[in-house]
Amino acid sequence: MTATTTQGFRETMKRLRSAQKGHARGAPAYSVYVNRRIGRVLAALAHGWGLTPNQVTAVSALHTFAAIVLLATVPASAWLGILVAILLVLGYAWDSADGQVARLRGGGSIAGEWLDHFVDAAKISSLHLAVAIGLFRFVPDLPPVILLVPLWFSAVATTTFFGMLLNDLLKGARGIASTHVRGGGTARRSLLLLPTDFGVLCLSFALWGTPAFLYVYGALALVSTVFLAAASVKWFRDMRRAG
């Protein structure tokens, strides 16, 4: 970087810190304290390169779906797991960066928000389906019942994502503030919800190709199921109050 470029990068980082939106109350720790900060750096770089928010979303999708394709088409191994984890982590960080780039440019568009959520929905469901395909194709002598875990995880993750979006949509239609309030939540709650964080799921793929993956992945699926069961009760009560 030249001195001018470095100075521009620092100024952009300063603007991003001051314009940072709040997070949902008790949002998982990785997303808040790690992913958002990585995304901030990527957003500053993307802004310097002249990328639009939609282009940043495309970069995120490229990383994420490259990892998903690898899971389903390449024999499981330790090196593949590390590569997949890196791609997923970068894809998740770029996903955080697109909104930050939008704020640098004065705000995003409805089309851009739609594209972001559309890509998120596709990756959340297809990632677990790729796990099922990869296990079926490349892990010999695996009990068939194990394949039900990623299928179940896909249903849980998709339902959770839909529920969160629907909460904000219905509340917004009635003039009720979104859960994404600045400074929301506590560090303790964020740490407790860490196992439900998509970033932790991304990191778990570093174990792909080893016996430990199934145990970690299964534990994350279980925690996500418990979270959805508890959250659905709370969300329904919130909707009754909103109505």
Quote the longest CA-to-CA distance of the chain.
Answer: 59
Residue 2 inside a domain? The answer is no
Average pLDDT of span 62-74: 98
CA distance 223 to 50: 40
Number of domains the chain is built from: 1
Residue 194 inside a domain? The answer is yes
pLDDT at 206: 98
Residue 187 inside a domain? The answer is yes
Instruction: Give the number of other Cβ atoms within 10 Å of residue 81's Cβ.
Output: 20
What are the residues whose beta carbons fall under 8 Å from the beta carbon of 181, sequence distance 6 or more?
Answer: 22, 24, 25
Write down the pTM of the prediction: 0.88
For residue 26, is pLDDT > 90? Answer: no
pLDDT band per the 50, 70, 90 thresholds, residue 68: very high
Residue 15 inside a domain? The answer is no
For residue 8, is pLDDT > 80? Answer: no
pLDDT at 214: 96
Kindly list the distances between the CA atom of residue 98 and the CA atoms of 35, 51, 55, 79, in Å, as whole numbers in the listed order. 13, 9, 8, 29
**Residues 75-84: tens digit of each pLDDT:** 999 999 999 9
CA distance 1 to 18: 24
Residue 232 inside a domain? The answer is yes
**Residues 125-171: tens digit of each pLDDT:** 999 999 999 999 999 889 999 999 999 999 999 999 999 999 988 88
Q: Compare 185 and 216 and report the one with higher pLDDT.
A: 216
Q: Compare 10 and 110 and report the one with higher pLDDT.
A: 110
Residue 57 inside a domain? The answer is yes
Q: With contact defined as beta carbons under 8 Å apart, do 117 and 165 qualify?
A: yes
For residue 89, is pLDDT > 70? Answer: yes
CA distance 10 to 64: 28
Q: With contact defined as beta carbons under 8 Å apart, do 170 and 242 qualify?
A: yes
CA distance 123 to 198: 11
pLDDT band per the 50, 70, 90 thresholds, residue 107: confident
**If you search the block for the tokens 């917004």, which residue do you land on?**
172
Instruction: Give the number of other Cβ atoms within 10 Å of residue 72's Cβ.
Output: 17
Instruction: Give the number of other Cβ atoms within 10 Å of residue 134's Cβ.
Output: 23
Q: What is the CATH number of the domain that holds 145?
A: 1.20.120.1760
Give the domain range for residue 153. 22-242
Question: For 184-193, 203-212, 230-239, which range has the lowest pLDDT when averaged over its residues?
Answer: 184-193
pLDDT band per the 50, 70, 90 thresholds, residue 1: low
pLDDT band per the 50, 70, 90 thresholds, residue 175: confident
Residue 10 inside a domain? The answer is no
Q: Indicate the average pLDDT of the chain.
A: 88
pLDDT band per the 50, 70, 90 thresholds, residue 63: very high
Residue 7 inside a domain? The answer is no
Radius of gyration of the chain (CA): 19
For residue 173, is pLDDT > 90? Answer: no
